[in-house]
Amino acid sequence: MPQSVARRYELAEFAQIPAVACPCGEARRAFADVADFPLTVHRTEISADAKTHYHKQLTETYYFLECGPDAKMQLDEELLPVRPGMAIVIRPGCRHRAVGKMTVLVICWPKFDPADEWFD
């Protein structure tokens, strides 16, 4: 009789994850409930009116999946044009917001904590 083998992978189907409001628009956050995985992965639909915010503990990596030709990221006082295929690492303390509509994959380490969203 074969022994039971623990599954060595996790699967996320973003279309089945409920969207939650965030300062940028709506996020679908995967792997938050996986105890032995140290981060979360978010598919975020960013609206044109994203709010400037920062994190004291979290590092976020934004990978741009889709965005308009005028899309930008404000990182502290700098405004950078972005396009699909680019990625930006945003360290703790960096005030940031998206300018324009876009879809991004956000890798958040450690796991996302809504208590670590700060506004000036």
Question: In CATH, what number is assigned to the domain containing residue 52?
Answer: 2.60.120.10
Could you tell me if residue 78 is inside a domain? yes
Q: Torsions phi, psi of 36, nearest 5?
A: -95, 15
d(CA 100, CA 40): 24
As a whole number of angstroms, the distance between CA 63 and CA 91 comes to 14
How far is residue 93's CA from residue 62's CA, in Å, rounded to a whole number?
A: 16
- Write down the pLDDT at residue 2: 58
Inside any domain, residue 34: yes
Number of domains in the chain: 1
Helix (H, G, I), strand (E, B) or coil at 75: strand
Give domain status of residue 5, yes or no: no
- The domain of 42 spans 28-109
The predicted structure's pLDDT at residue 15: 97
Q: Whole-model pTM? A: 0.91
Q: What is the pLDDT along the chain (120 residues), one digit of tens a residue?
A: 456 778 899 999 999 999 999 988 999 999 999 999 999 999 999 987 789 999 999 999 999 999 999 999 999 999 999 999 999 999 999 999 999 999 999 999 999 999 999 998
Could you tell me if residue 13 is inside a domain? Answer: no
**Two structure tokens written together for 88:** 């930006």
What does the alpha-carbon distance between residue 66 and residue 104 come to, in Å, rounded to a whole number?
7
Residue 14 lies in a domain: no
Residue 61: inside a domain, yes or no? yes
> Does residue 71 fall inside a structural domain?
yes
Q: Is residue 53 one of the residues assigned to a domain?
A: yes
